[in-house]
């Protein structure tokens, strides 16, 4: 009886390191196995409408930003006092702002600011964060302290406050905006990469790679990085949404893109003063910002559902 | 547990020290001469520049400036405004309660809206009420406060005149008017955090509904309502409380925008005014106050969490 129990508990404890179903690393392995043996990843993704629908919207938004100067029907900066604050018409499809400028053209050209800041800042965040997380998680000890504690310091500030402080002291410019948003969201990537690396680095295939003489760079790049990509992709999508939110929030406060150049945020900021005269003025930029952020958030959720087998219900 | 609390307290103290140090040297990061930047090109005469430098202590070595500022902070002296000359601490004492009032009202609204919607979504999972509640949550997370705010003003005040668009009336002067002016900003902030609460409540209730003790309660023949309210909800709300705590931090950030939109004279409007007038001592003080509040809220959340959930790891 006693010996039987002992054997059983031994079996359980021996089986544990490999068998814990809740370990994300196992989930990642399962996924990579599933991907290799059965359905290709892109097919899993294309089957999920929560990926495809926002995906299409995002592609359209990116195309709009890319071809903005050719798509805009009018000059977004041309002032015309005769047609101030008008509603939609055949002349100005979405109406005009307080200086008679064409709202549609301003929204199209404004998408450039939002998309540029979002893409570049999230690139900064991803590269910095993943590097911090990989180094901290893989080498441990001093490196873990140096990387993860500096991340903790950044997390002490509410994001928008840190962004406002930097802009207040360094002055508003696109470059400062990209750097500060990148730095802010780097923390998320660092934490995700760190957590994943700690779990993946003791797995057999990493040990095996080390035994056959692979160097640290090779192990990190070839064996560890590919296995932590799924949660990072999810985070990229969510962070793009937050970056757009933050950029337009700062522009709304007058601390981002300086007028007369259009950005979705500073358009809403300006429109606030003319709610009585032309409600369309506040409506259009509000709509496009909401669609953009909603798309990135939904895409992030969809990617998570599709890439993480634990969440498939 | 005791050791965990002590360690967490020490951590928070270190964080506050680091933040205060960073804020102390913020002014050094202004490109160019801060005195010139503050005055602007046209007003920057020799005497004025000297006066500003004296005011800010910029003529002294940086370690003296640092020690001075730090000493001030410890004794509750946050310096004086460059423009009004008033002590910043006095202004803040008036404004901090207003910011907390707004935040508190928003949390109240988000709990009243969020928890019932989350429970309903879980109870009627994958049917119409669930779809409605989760869609509302996704919208709440995606539509920025500076979109919700102006749209609410448009609908409830410009078009219909139900509520005043902005401003502040002290409670002692006119309680009804005070609450009316609080309504729109609090609601704008509350929608944002109710979204997170809906999602958290839903997933937490769903998880608990699959537990053994809920199954056995059902098998004992208890009605669905009784299972939900007496067995499931009590346990499901533990993580929700943590989320509410974390939401306080997010709210603090978003309140910067909301106070500005509705001209609510709290800490954030003070900050924005300070930035626009280049009144840097105000900017420094407000950043410090908000960051410290943020650290303390996180500390509080961690401690409450550790107290509620004994499974938490203390290392």
ipTM of the complex: 0.82
Other C-beta atoms lying within 10 Å of the C-beta of residue B114:
31
Mean pLDDT of B183-203: 90
Mean pLDDT of A107-123: 93
Does one domain contain both A167 and A47? yes
Does one domain contain both B116 and B197? yes
Does one domain contain both A1 and A147? no
Partners of B141 on chain A (C-beta within 8 Å) are 297
Does one domain contain both A174 and A192? yes
List the beta bridge partners of residue B87: B80
Q: How many helices (H) and strands (E) does chain A have?
A: 14, 0
pLDDT tens string A64-92: 999 989 988 888 888 888 878 888 887 87
* Residue A29 pLDDT grade (very low, low, confident, very high; cuts 50, 70, 90): low
| Cα–Cα nearest to A100, from A283, A278, A248 | A278
Concatenated DSSP letters of A252-299: HTTSSSPTTS--HHHHHHHHGGGTTT-HHHHHHHHHHHHHHHHHHHHH
Does one domain contain both A183 and A241? yes
Which residues contact residue A208 at a Cβ distance below 8 angstroms, ignoring those fewer than 6 apart?
Answer: none
Q: Measured between CA atoms, how close is A9 to chain B, in angstroms?
A: 22
A297 touches chain B (CB under 8 A): yes
Q: Who among B150, B249, B250 is closest to A282 (CB)?
A: B150
Which residues contact residue B65 at a Cβ distance below 8 angstroms, ignoring those fewer than 6 apart?
Answer: B24, B57, B58
Nearest-10 Cα torsion for B125, B131, B134, B137: -160
Does one domain contain both A21 and A61? no
Mean pLDDT of A275-281: 87
Instruction: Report which of residues B143 and A91 the model is more confident about.
Output: B143
Instruction: Report which of residues A200 and A268 the model is more confident about.
Output: A268
Mean pLDDT of A125-137: 92
| Interface residues of chain B, partner chain A, Cβ below 8 Å | 15, 18-19, 26-27, 29-31, 138-139, 141-144, 146-147, 150-151, 153-154, 158, 249-250, 252-254, 256-257, 260-261, 271-272, 275-276, 280, 283, 287, 290-291, 294-295
CATH number at residue B256: 1.10.3720.10
Does one domain contain both A16 and A47? no
Backbone angles phi, psi at A39, to 5 degrees: -95, 135
Q: With respect to residue B83, please indicate whether it lies within any of the assigned structural domains.
A: no
For residue B76, whether the previous peptide bond is cis, meaning omega lies within 30 degrees of 0, is: no
Domain encompassing residue B51: 2-74
Q: With respect to residue B122, please indicate whether it lies within any of the assigned structural domains.
A: yes
A275 touches chain B (CB under 8 A): yes
Mean pLDDT of A287-307: 90
Mean of the per-residue pLDDT values of chain B: 84
Mean pLDDT of B75-83: 84
Domain encompassing residue A120: 40-311
How far is C-alpha B198 from the geometric centre of its chain's CA atoms? 19
- Answer for the pair B157, B181: CB distance below 8 angstroms, yes or no: no
| Cα–Cα nearest to A112, from A59, A48, A65 | A65
Give the chain A residue whose CA is nearest to the CA of B156: A275
A156 touches chain B (CB under 8 A): yes
Percent of chain B with pLDDT over 70: 96
Does one domain contain both B23 and B115? no
- Answer for the pair A176, A167: CB distance below 8 angstroms, yes or no: yes
Query: What's the structural domain count of chain A?
Result: 2
Percent of chain A with pLDDT over 70: 85
Is there a contact between B29 and A169 if contact means CB atoms under 8 Å apart? yes
Mean of the per-residue pLDDT values of chain A: 82
Q: With respect to residue B312, please indicate whether it lies within any of the assigned structural domains.
A: no
Does one domain contain both A110 and A145? yes
User: Collapsing DSSP states into helix, strand and coil, what is residue B80?
Assistant: strand
Q: What is the DSSP letter of A311?
A: G
Tell me the CA distances in angstroms from B260 to A77, A132, B140, B167, one per residue in order: 27, 36, 20, 10
- Answer for the pair A189, A232: CB distance below 8 angstroms, yes or no: yes
Query: Distance (Å, rounded) from C-alpha A13 to C-alpha A93?
Result: 69
Instruction: Report which of residues A310 and B190 the model is more confident about.
Output: B190
Does one domain contain both A22 and A70? no
Q: Measured between CA atoms, how close is A50 to chain B, in angstroms?
A: 12
Does one domain contain both A3 and A111? no
Q: With respect to residue B214, please indicate whether it lies within any of the assigned structural domains.
A: yes
User: Collapsing DSSP states into helix, strand and coil, what is residue B141?
Assistant: helix
Concatenated DSSP letters of B182-228: HHHHHHHHHHHHHHHHHHHHHHHHHHHHTSHHHHHHHHTT--HHHII
Is there a contact between B18 and A153 if contact means CB atoms under 8 Å apart? yes
Is there a contact between B294 and A158 if contact means CB atoms under 8 Å apart? yes
Partners of B139 on chain A (C-beta within 8 Å) are 290, 294
Q: With respect to residue B297, please indicate whether it lies within any of the assigned structural domains.
A: no
pLDDT tens string B232-285: 787 788 778 777 877 777 788 888 899 999 999 999 999 988 888 888 889 889
Which residues contact residue B107 at a Cβ distance below 8 angstroms, ignoring those fewer than 6 apart?
Answer: B190, B193, B244, B247, B248, B251
Angle, vertex CA B140, rays to CA B136 and CA B141, nearest 5: 120
Which of A85, A118, A164, A299 to substitute to test the interface with B, most B CBs within 10 Å? A164
CA atoms within 13 A on the CB side of A57: 17
Does one domain contain both A113 and A84? yes
Return the structure tokens found at A63: 């195309």
Query: Distance (Å, rounded) from C-alpha A44 to C-alpha A307?
Result: 8
Query: What's the structural domain count of chain B?
Result: 2
Q: Who among B26, B151, B253 is closest to A169 (CB)?
A: B26
Torsion-angle region of B32 (φ positive above 0: left; ψ -120 to 50: alpha; else: beta) = left
CATH number at residue A86: 1.10.3720.10
Start-end of H helices in A201-228: 204-211, 216-218
Model pLDDT, residue A6? 38
């Amino acid at each position: 009886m006693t010996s039987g129990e002992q054997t059983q508990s031994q079996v359980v404890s021996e089986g544990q390191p490999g068998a814990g179903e809740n370990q994300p690393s196992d989930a990642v392995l399962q996924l990579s196995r599933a991907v290799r043996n059965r359905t290709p990843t892109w097919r899993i993704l294309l089957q999920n409408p929560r990926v495809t629908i926002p995906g299409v919207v995002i592609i359209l938004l990116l195309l709009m930003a890319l071809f903005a100067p050719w798509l805009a029907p009018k000059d977004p900066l041309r002032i015309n006092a005769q047609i101030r604050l008008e509603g939609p018409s055949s002349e100005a499809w979405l109406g005009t702002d307080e200086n008679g400028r064409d709202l549609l053209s301003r929204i199209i050209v404004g998408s450039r600011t939002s998309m540029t800041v979002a893409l570049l800042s999230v690139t900064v965040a991803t590269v910095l964060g993943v590097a911090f997380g990989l180094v901290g998680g893989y080498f441990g000890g001093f490196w873990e302290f140096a990387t993860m504690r500096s991340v903790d310091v950044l997390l002490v500030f509410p994001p928008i406050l840190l962004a406002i402080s930097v802009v207040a002291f360094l002055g508003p410019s696109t470059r400062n905006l990209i750097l500060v948003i990148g730095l802010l969201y780097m923390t998320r990537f660092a934490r995700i990469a760190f957590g994943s690396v700690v779990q993946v680095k003791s797995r057999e295939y990493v040990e095996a790679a080390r035994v056959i003489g692979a160097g640290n760079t090779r192990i990190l790049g070839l064996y560890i990085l590919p296995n932590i990509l799924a949660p990072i992709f999810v985070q990229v999508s969510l962070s793009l949404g937050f970056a757009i939110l933050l950029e337009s929030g700062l522009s709304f406060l007058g601390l981002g893109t300086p007028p007369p150049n259009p950005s979705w945020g500073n358009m809403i900021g300006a429109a606030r003063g003319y709610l009585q005269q032309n409600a369309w003025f506040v409506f259009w930029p509000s709509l496009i910002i909401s669609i953009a952020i909603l798309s990135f958030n939904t895409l992030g959720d969809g990617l998570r559902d599709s890439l993480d087998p634990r969440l498939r219900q | 547990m005791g050791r965990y609390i002590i360690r967490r307290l020490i951590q928070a103290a270190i964080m506050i020290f680091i933040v205060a140090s960073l804020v102390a040297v913020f002014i050094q990061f202004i490109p160019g001469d801060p005195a010139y930047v503050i005055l602007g090109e046209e007003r920057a005469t020799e005497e004025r520049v000297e006066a500003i430098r004296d005011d800010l202590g910029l003529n002294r070595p940086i370690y003296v400036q640092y020690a001075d500022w730090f000493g001030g902070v410890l004794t509750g002296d946050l310096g004086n405004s460059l423009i009004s000359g008033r002590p910043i601490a006095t202004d803040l004492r008036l404004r901090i309660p207003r910011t907390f009032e707004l935040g508190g009202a928003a949390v109240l609204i988000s709990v009243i809206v969020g928890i019932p919607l989350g429970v309903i979504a879980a109870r009627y999972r994958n049917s119409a009420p669930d779809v409605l509640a989760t869609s509302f949550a996704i919208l709440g997370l995606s539509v920025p406060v500076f979109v919700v705010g102006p749209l609410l003003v448009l609908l409830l005040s410009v078009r219909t005149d139900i509520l005043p668009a902005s401003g502040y009336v002290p409670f002692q002067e006119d309680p009804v008017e005070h609450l009316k002016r609080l309504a729109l900003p609090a609601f704008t902030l509350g929608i944002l955090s109710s979204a997170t609460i809906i999602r958290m409540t839903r997933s937490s209730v769903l998880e608990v509904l699959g537990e053994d003790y809920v199954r056995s309660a059902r098998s004992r023949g208890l009605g669905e309502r009784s299972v939900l309210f007496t067995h499931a909800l009590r346990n499901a709300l533990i993580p929700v409380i943590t989320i509410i705590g974390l939401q306080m931090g997010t709210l603090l950030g978003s309140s910067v925008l909301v106070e500005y939109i509705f001209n609510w004279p709290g800490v954030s409007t003070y900050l924005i005014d300070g930035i626009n007038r280049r009144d840097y001592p105000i900017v420094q003080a407000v950043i410090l106050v908000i960051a410290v509040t943020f650290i303390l809220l996180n500390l509080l959340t961690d401690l409450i969490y550790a107290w509620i959930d004994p499974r938490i790891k203390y290392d």
